[in-house]
Amino acid sequence: MPCERKPMRYGHSEGHTEVCFDDHGRFIVTCGNDGDVRIWESLEDDDPKFITVGEKAYSLALKNGKLVTASSNNTVQIHTFPDGEPDGILTRFTTNATHVTFNSSGSRVAAGSSDFMVKVVEVSDSSQQKTLRGHEAPVLSVTFDPKDDFLASSSCDGSVVVWNIEEQTQVISWPLLQKTNDVSNAKSLCRLAWQPRAAKFLAVPVDTKVHLYERGSWDHVSTLSDDLLTQPINVVAWSPCGQFLAAGSVGGSLTLWDVNSKLCVERQKHEKGFTVCGLAWHPSGGQIAYTDTEGCLGLLDGLGVSTADTNAPKAPVKKPAKDYDALFDDDDDDRVLDEGLSDTNSPVKKRVAGDEDEEDDDFLIPSTGRVRNRGAILDDENSLDTGSLKLGPDTFRDDDDDTGSAVVPPSVPLVALRPVYEGPMPTPPQKAFQSGSTPAHLTHRFMMWNSVGIVRGYNDEQDNAIDVEFHDTAVHHAMHLTNSLGHTMADISQEAVLLACSSTDELASKLQCLHFSSWDTNKEWMVDLPNGEDARALCLGQGWAAVATSTLTLRLFSIGGVQREIFSLPGPVVCMVAHGEQLLIVYHRATGFDGEQALGVQLLQFGRRKRQIVNGEPLPLSLRSHLTWLGFTAEGTPCYVDSDGVVRLLNRSLGNTWTPVCHTRETCKSRSDHYWVVGAHENPQQLRCIPCKGSRYPPTLPRPAVAILPFKLPLCQTATEKGQMEEQFLRSVLFHNHYSFLSSSGYEIDEDGQSRSQKEQQELLMKMFALSCKLEREFRSVELAELMTHNVVTLAIRYASRSRRMALAQRLSDMALERANQIQEEEPEEQDEEPEHKSIRRNSGYDQSEVTGGRQSNRHNREEEEEQGQELGEEEDGQEMETEETTESRKRVNPFAKEAGSPVKPSLTPIGKVGRANPFKVFGSGKPSASSGQNRVTNILDNMTSSRKSAPPGGSAGKPGKGPVLKPLAPRPKSKTQSTLLQMTGTKTANKKTPGNTEPAADQRKEAEVPPPASPADNSDKRPKTGFQLWLEENRKSIVFDHPDMEETDVIKEAMGRFRTMSAEDRLTWTERAKGQTGDAFDLKKRKRAGGEDVGSENGREEADENDAKKKKPLDSASKLSAFAFNKN
């Protein structure tokens, strides 16, 4: 008996759920743990009517327009159906009722309770009650004899009892079940069922089998079993004709037996393996509705069982086959539940052409033209080969005698046993939908809700119209359109409204565009799609419109109606959205299995150069979920939401991968609540959605309110301080990737927002660095420092040195030096590229080439940085980190860039000695920096000091007689000679060998800012030269001649190598010559000072004294550590 298993849908919150049909089969009625009774017009009904009966609803029964429910307030209530008006309380118990049922006529209701009692109540007069006492544990289920003489009940005491209703006595009791103390602990609900019409058998589920007891004799006459059943049977239900018995088990198995032949004619499996706790046959016998313990509702369709009169002619109903060929047949899911009222829902078999002479029924195929059965796989005592089960016209004879129905050879064969397949089952493909719309079968629905406006559709008895409303009425006024063509799809943008309808027998599928932003008088155009081609999805971009059709074709139009592009899609479209120049398409790339959807995604950009950014990559979804919303953030980043409520965002910086950024179900108070997403923003980080209480979709009236949900990345251990900061940092990096994309696409960007994001990221990195230091995770600290910009690395070195973490500070200084050298090498290339790249670069700390921040900053930004530096010099130690990060967040001048007209290489400037020195301040003429008397370039730590001792302006803070003392996070005296990173003469030579009294780089800055009367050529003579420098000046031409392509730094390295290979006597000769020139230069400097040509002469003499004093101090490795910063050029 081949049947179609419909996809499960959400019905109630998690817990026990029951189901039944109304008398005519028009409605499916369910109750659940949320206390609601829901009335579904069909399985696809997304807006069912509901009746709240209590905190929990345990059971329900429906007959003759009366709805009876057992709720958690210990009562059995009655409501009118389908109006849902309360009609009183039938009876009460001392605890909650567990099961209720009607008799065949609907005049009586039986209810079992956890207080061990069973009551039989007259519906017309609730005072007429009969109480059946005798069970010794809570009652599991009750069922009426169709002739209204007996009542059967099962209980947690392990017994199944048959009662005489009028005498209120036990007729017989069978100890069949395992004893438990409560319904919640029972292995099975043991829902009994009496055969309708003939009333011959009582079906009792016992473990994995069903026992049939004969009415009257109460003998155990037969057992229905199936070798594939391994879990206890929970509930059984008879078909309306009384010939078939359906059973649902704890493991999710659904089994159907022919009672006369005792053969299993159908097997199905719950798609998720949950316990089946509710089972109901459609009055026509063609469908079975079932519910599980997770609150979900399912349907088996096309069972081919009839309740019609046997003499009536059989009217075949054509139904699409459920096989792999029909997975993409869109007509499969459009059938409503009450189409099964005819005699049968099973396809009538027809013979294959040319097989008239064949008598084997194996060659019969359904009227759909597809071979239904290709041979039975399982061969056991309870299964037959295809075509061997033949039921005749007398099968459904309504006999009142005890002979039952007989199996006779038929003239028209019934569909035989379906082949058993235990592998993964194909998932019905998700139907195409418009993102931001509610289902099309609703009479009042949202056709589109996006960031521009709302399109509502009304299709009822009074009106068939479309209302268009704009969030900003400055874009356009609201519009009311008559929907004469029956449009079902819509999109809205700042330029137009796009509508589309499906084709009919007479009319083709049409695409209609209301171009309200057009400057001419014709503001509307319409296009007919080719015959046999229906619009499935549409969207509006900036200056263009796109429509995806049923022929796997995408058609691109200009906003004025010109056909621009056409191309084929890899699979049936599911959804399509646009933003600016971007087009995002999601389609079925393959058939999914076990509840999964196999979706693919394409992202195209229609700019000046059309290109495909994402090419058919699989779209990640949560397990057994489907796509519910697709769109772009307001900044243009693709994102989507699945049915589990997980929001994912495209991470362009990680190879166009998808990152989960929010889980909407975590904020829902109930399992039946949902959030309907309408938009997303990256700055500020907001998810805009509409809360839906007990539903997936909002009502159109009154207008629902939009709520704001925050984003949160699902990182590990977000309850800890470390996890929180990591989540904030990664989220900040991810949500500010759009600056780079917008800049590369030629859009203007918010430079203030970008600088704020950079500041936020560097602050978080510094906090994580400090936390790692406290936890003694020095390796992790270095990993964090690699993500920092250069100026924040200086803060990290400062923090590490004051925390007595010398090894960490040494590693950070090595890293900073390596980074400085790398940037120096890259600098000439970047200066060449600078005029071509005017946009601000994204700086999240990931790219080594971007560590210095904004290299294209202008003079205004330099002034801002200088102001920040002056503020930093006036603050206390406790505020050092915050001020540094504030400075970092602004656009920074490249500290390694060569200043025009200055031949000096960048060098490190030590912190000054007056109070707290400003590491970024440009020194004026009155405040020269400390001089360095030693030119050893061992590491950056040699160029630092953290002296905080007060001294007169321009004076020295170093005291020769005091030894070095290291106190973390506290001022300490100067303890060593300062040196610079690279000291080079005007001819770009390096001094790495001979120590001598040299002027610091800050003096040259001072002289550049306050130029003396001497010519610029004299500046190069003020710095004493070493023997190597003299040798290099004379041999430079030969080195350059030998290596014409060598850069300046490589020339210096080559020269140093050659200088080292010279004999000691030769090197000594050059050194002596340098000393002679040094003495001449020193005399010249003294003469200039005596002449008053240097404004800071007094400071210069103090520096010379200081250098002499420092030479006498021993060099302590610990005393090398101090704070430093690079000079700004």
| 94 pLDDT higher than 70 | yes
Q: Is the dihedral of CA 469, 475, 477, 483 positive or negative?
A: negative
| 974 pLDDT higher than 50 | no
Q: Is the dihedral of CA 578, 579, 580, 586 positive or negative?
A: negative
When pLDDT is averaged across residues 688-704 and rounded to a whole number, the result is 89
Q: Which amino acid is at 1123?
A: A
pLDDT at 834: 52
The 3-state DSSP class for residue 23 equals coil
> Tokens 């005291």 appear where?
959
358-373 confidence digits (pLDDT tens): 444 444 444 444 444 4
Task: Transcribe 509-563 into DSSP letters.
Answer: -EEEEE-TT-SSS--EEEEEPPTT--EEEEEE-SSEEEEEETTSEEEEEETTS-E
Q: Please tell me the distance from the alpha carbon of residue 934 to that of residue 929, in angstroms, as a whole number.
A: 15
Lowest mean pLDDT among 498-507, 628-637, 645-654, 969-978: 969-978
Q: Which residues contact 1024 (CB under 8 A, 6 or more apart)?
A: 996, 997, 998, 1074, 1077, 1078, 1081, 1082
Tokens representing 1104? 């010379």
Q: Which amino acid is at 225?
A: S
| 244 pLDDT higher than 60 | yes
Q: Looking only at Cα atoms, what is the longest distance across the chain?
A: 138
Lowest mean pLDDT among 100-114, 640-654, 1081-1095: 1081-1095
Strands 276-281 and 349-351: unpaired
pLDDT band (50, 70, 90) for residue 605: very high
Instruction: Determine phi and psi for 845, rounding to 5 degrees.
Output: 90, 0
SS3 sequence of 1059-1073: HHHCCHHHHHHHHHH
pLDDT band (50, 70, 90) for residue 777: very high
Length of the chain: 1129
Residue among 691, 966, 637 at smallest CA distance from 806 = 966
pLDDT at 327: 46
| 725 pLDDT higher than 90 | yes
Whole-angstrom CA distances from 916 to 895, 919, 1126 are: 21, 9, 16
| 1106 pLDDT higher than 50 | no
pLDDT at 404: 43
pLDDT band (50, 70, 90) for residue 417: low
List the beta bridge partners of residue 172: 162
Whole-angstrom CA distances from 643 to 274, 661, 969 are: 19, 15, 53
pLDDT band (50, 70, 90) for residue 1044: confident
| 529 pLDDT higher than 80 | yes
Q: Specify which of 377-381, 731-735, 745-749 reaches the highest per-range mean pLDDT.
A: 731-735
| 1073 pLDDT higher than 50 | yes
- Model confidence, pTM: 0.47
pLDDT at 832: 60
Contact between 119 and 78 (Cβ < 8 Å): no
Q: Please tell me the distance from the alpha carbon of residue 867 to that of residue 1072, in angstroms, as a whole number.
A: 46
When pLDDT is averaged across residues 1088-1096 and rounded to a whole number, the result is 47
pLDDT at 833: 55
pLDDT at 337: 39
607-629 confidence digits (pLDDT tens): 888 889 999 999 999 999 999 99
Element housing 616 (H / E): strand 611-618
List the beta bridge partners of residue 640: 630, 648
Angle between helix 1064-1090 and 1097-1111 (nearest 10): 150
Q: Please tell me the distance from the alpha carbon of residue 141 to that of residue 539, in angstroms, as a whole number.
A: 54
Lowest mean pLDDT among 163-172, 394-403, 549-558, 585-594: 394-403
pLDDT at 1085: 52
224-241 confidence digits (pLDDT tens): 988 888 889 999 999 988
Q: Please tell me the distance from the alpha carbon of residue 376 to that of residue 267, in angstroms, as a whole number.
A: 13
When pLDDT is averaged across residues 557-578 and rounded to a whole number, the result is 95
pLDDT at 328: 47
pLDDT band (50, 70, 90) for residue 467: very high
List the beta bridge partners of residue 290: 279, 298
Contact between 630 and 605 (Cβ < 8 Å): no
Residue among 231, 273, 252 at smallest CA distance from 624 = 273
Task: Report the share of the chain in percent with pLDDT over 70.
Answer: 67
Whole-angstrom CA distances from 664 to 29, 296, 439, 708, 719 are: 28, 20, 21, 11, 19
pLDDT band (50, 70, 90) for residue 989: very low
Tell me 841's DSSP state.
Answer: P
Contact between 697 and 438 (Cβ < 8 Å): yes
| 830 pLDDT higher than 80 | no
Residue among 901, 925, 932, 929 at smallest CA distance from 1006 = 925
For residue 1005, with 0-12 CB atoms within 10 Å meaning exposed, 13-18 middle and 19 or more buried, which class applies? buried
pLDDT at 707: 93
pLDDT band (50, 70, 90) for residue 572: very high
pLDDT at 143: 93
- Residue bearing the bigger pLDDT, 1024 or 502: 502
pLDDT at 838: 43
pLDDT at 1071: 85
pLDDT at 471: 92
| 1103 pLDDT higher than 50 | no
| 583 pLDDT higher than 70 | yes
pLDDT at 853: 39
Alpha-helix runs per DSSP H in 328-482? none
The whole-chain average pLDDT of the chain stands at 75
Q: Which residues contact 179 (CB under 8 A, 6 or more apart)?
A: 137, 156, 157, 158
Q: Which residues contact 865 (CB under 8 A, 6 or more apart)?
A: 887, 890, 891, 892, 893, 920, 1128
Q: Which amino acid is at 94?
A: T
Give per-residue burial for 526-536: e unless 16+ CB within 10 Å, then b.
Answer: ebebeeebbbb
- Residue bearing the bigger pLDDT, 870 or 691: 691
Give per-residue burial for 831-850: e unless 16+ CB within 10 Å, then b.
Answer: eeeeeeeebbbbbbbeeeeb
| 943 pLDDT higher than 50 | no
| 1051 pLDDT higher than 70 | yes
pLDDT at 837: 46
